[in-house]
Amino acid sequence: MSRYRGPKLRISRRLGSLPGLTTKKSKKLNRPGKEGNSIEVGKKLSEYAVRLEEKQKLKYNYGLTENQLFRYVKEARRRQGVTGLILLQLLEMRLDTLCFTLGFAKTIRQARQLVNHGHITINGKVLNIPSFQCRLNDVIGVKDRTVSKNLISNNLKDNQRSEISYNLKFDPGELKATVLDYCDRNAILLPLDELLVIEYYSRR
């Protein structure tokens, strides 16, 4: 299944706030489709539908395919600890997600484009793999090229973060950030019940 490239506001109307997908807000308040305009809009969703929507939030927010998300879930199960938190930490340690967290891009999709076009470096080497899993003490930087530095500097001005997460040490002068630790659950902007995502995949 390919990555979603359709209308983003339609998804945010159905699933709620998805900071990694889009910063825009729809003027329409109802959910998309016939059911969104019907009297039955307030009817209770089934347990399966609730789990499905939580899974869809992860998928669309981080710009993943179904197979990619399932692989992350399997990896989270293999590791010791709370599976739901580990899953979120794995997704937050992706290179494109970290670039978004630092303010290099407005959305994760835009951050993925920055990485694909070779503007981002890891430990001084250009890396064009958005899904690259960063490790502790990795240094995320900007390619030593005027075009890249100007692009990131302008994006930082437009996407000013009130506070960078404690697990990242960012030097705005050098345009470099060091990964100090895995993120805490409270640092993740996405409103989500990750336990329901694990339950969704429990039968697979």
- DSSP code for 177: E
Identify which of 24, 48, 45, 22 has the alpha carbon closest to the alpha carbon of residue 35: 45
The enclosing domain of 51 has a CATH number of: 1.10.1050.10
- Which residue range(s) make up the domain with 32? 8-90+190-200
Q: DSSP characters for 43-112? A: SPPPHHHHHHHHHHHHHHHTT--HHHHHHHHHHHHHSSS-HHHHHHHHHHTBHHHHHHHHTSSSSHHHHH
The verdict on residue 2 lying in a domain is no
- Together in a domain, 169 and 105: yes
The pLDDT value given to residue 1:
46
Identify which of 116, 92, 84, 121 has the alpha carbon closest to the alpha carbon of residue 183: 92
The verdict on residue 65 lying in a domain is yes
- Rounded Cα–Cα distance for residues 161 and 84 (Å): 26
pTM of the model: 0.86
- Rounded Cα–Cα distance for residues 141 and 83 (Å): 30
Question: Per-residue pLDDT for the chain (204 aa), expressed as one digit of tens each?
Answer: 466 777 777 777 788 878 877 777 766 666 666 555 543 455 677 888 889 999 999 999 999 999 999 999 999 999 998 999 999 999 999 999 999 999 999 999 999 999 999 999 999 999 999 999 999 999 999 999 999 999 999 989 887 766 788 889 999 889 999 999 998 888 887 888 899 999 999 876
Domain count, the chain: 2
CB under 8 Å to 173, separation ≥6 — which residues?
none
The pLDDT value given to residue 168:
92
- Together in a domain, 148 and 160: yes
The verdict on residue 140 lying in a domain is yes
- Rounded Cα–Cα distance for residues 22 and 106 (Å): 8
The pLDDT value given to residue 141:
94
**104 token code pair:** 């290099």
The enclosing domain of 116 has a CATH number of: 3.10.290.10
The pLDDT value given to residue 34:
55
- Together in a domain, 195 and 177: no
Kind plus residue range of the DSSP H or E element containing 139: strand 139-142
- Together in a domain, 76 and 112: no
Report the helix count and the strand count for the chain, using DSSP H and E. 9, 5
- Rounded Cα–Cα distance for residues 87 and 68 (Å): 12
CB under 8 Å to 54, separation ≥6 — which residues?
192, 193, 194, 196, 197, 200
